[in-house]
Copies of this chain bind each other. A is one copy, B any other.
C-alpha cells in the first residue's frame, strides 16, 4: 500500500511511484497509434471518415463510464472490506489479550503466542506463501494442525481447545469462556471473509465485457474525432484512454487486495502490529520492530 495521503501539485506533474501509468503503457501506445493512423487517413482520404461524428460515441462513452464506475465501486469495496476484516482481526486480538490479562502468565502466554501464529498463517495463506512455516514461527508444530485441510483454521481450533481446557480446569468460569470464544468466532469470521474475497473474483464475464467494450471504444474514438478535430484528435482520445484504462487497471489491482501489488493491503505490516500487541501482552519485552514503508510503499 502506498502511504501518501493526497497528491500535491508537484505529484500531479511528476510522480511515478504509485502511478498506474506504467501498467497501461501498452494499450495507451496502441491508442496513440490508432489516433495517428486516423489522422493520416483523415488527411489522405477525408471523405472516408467524413460522415463519422462524435455524438454516438458520447453515448457509448458515457454508458461505459457508468458501467465502469459500478465495477470500480465493486473492486474498491472488496479492497476496503479486506482492510476492515484485518482491522477486526486487530481488534479481536487486542480484546483477547485484554480478556486474558488477569490469567497467570503460564496460562495466557501459550494462547497469545498461538494466536500470533494464526495471524501469520492467515497472511501467508492469503499470499500463497508457506502457511505452515509462518505458523511455526510462533506455535509448536503439532500433528493436529500441520495435517489439517486448513492449517490456519486448525491452529485457531487449538486456541479454542486451550480456552476450553482452562474452563474445564476452573481457571476461568463458563461466562469468561464464552467471552473469549466470542473473539475466536470473530477471528474465524475474519478468516472466512478473507478467503471469500480471495476465492471469489469479480465475475470474469463482467470484466471481459467491460474490457472489450472499453478497448473497442478507445480504438474507434480517434476515427470519430478526426473529421471534426483533425490534428487535435489524439489529445482527447489519449485523455479518455488514460482515464478508462487507468481505472480499469486500478480496479484489477484493488479487486484482489491480498497480493503484493503497490496498492494491495500491507498484510506484513498488519501481522507485525498484531504480533507486537500479542507478544507484549504475553510478557515479551523484546518485540519485533514495526515495519516501515519503503519508498512510500508499505508491504
- A interface residues (Cβ-Cβ under 8 A, vs B): 1-7, 9, 11-12, 15, 18-20, 26-27, 51-67, 69-70, 72-74, 76, 79, 83-84, 87-88, 90-91, 94-95, 97-99, 101-102, 148-150, 153, 156-157, 160-161, 164-165, 168, 173-179, 181-185, 188-189, 191-193, 195-196, 199-201, 203-209, 211-213, 215-217, 220, 225, 228-232, 235-236, 239-240, 242-244, 246-247, 250, 252-256, 262-263, 265, 276-277, 280-281, 287, 290, 296
Contact = CB atoms under 8 A, between A and B. Distances in A.
Contact of A66 (B66, B165, B290): B66
A201 B1 CA distance: 9
A36 to B, nearest CB: 16
A5 B192 CA distance: 19
Which secondary structure dominates where chain A touches chain B? helix
Contact of A250 (B19, B189, B205): B205
Nearest to A242: B213
Integer count of this chain's copies in the complex: 5
A27 B212 CA distance: 18
A65 B177 CA distance: 53
Contact of A208 (B19, B26, B63, B98): B19
Contact of A15 (B9, B55, B165, B208): B208
A86 to B, nearest CB: 8
B229 A56 contact: yes
Nearest to A168: B102
Given A20-B205, A229-B52, A239-B213, A73 B72 contact: no
Nearest to A30: B9
Given A6-B252, A205-B250, A205-B262, 8 more contacts: A55-B55, A56-B225, A88-B189, A91-B185, A91-B189, A148-B280, A178-B179, A209-B250
